[in-house]
Amino acid sequence: MKKIAILFLVNLLFSTAIAHGEPVRIAYLQSDIHQLPCWVALEKGFFEKEGVKVEVAGIFKAGPELMSAFTAGALLRKI
């Protein structure tokens, strides 16, 4: 049930950002194979083909580094 709720939330956030024409900010781990779909989508331009503006906010070596940047607000959209 948690997975469905998380997927719904991610979908809602993407949809809201797309509707307002704002870029979706993402960050990922550079050596984690779980990030492969993201790398392929960025490399092949899949986001742009679907009309989604994507901004890479950070590329990190490890999860704790990414989480520290997230909690510090370094990955949030600047207003």
Distance CA 39, CA 34 (A): 10
Residue 45 has a pLDDT of 92
pLDDT: which is higher, 76 or 56: 56
Residue 3 has a pLDDT of 67
Nearest CA to 21 out of 54, 68, 58 is that of 54
| Bridge partner residues of 28 (DSSP) | 59
Instruction: Tell me the whole-structure pTM to 2 decimals.
Output: 0.61
Kindly report, residue by residue over 13-34, the tens digit of the pLDDT: 666 666 567 788 888 888 888 8
pLDDT: which is higher, 9 or 42: 42
Distance CA 11, CA 23 (A): 14
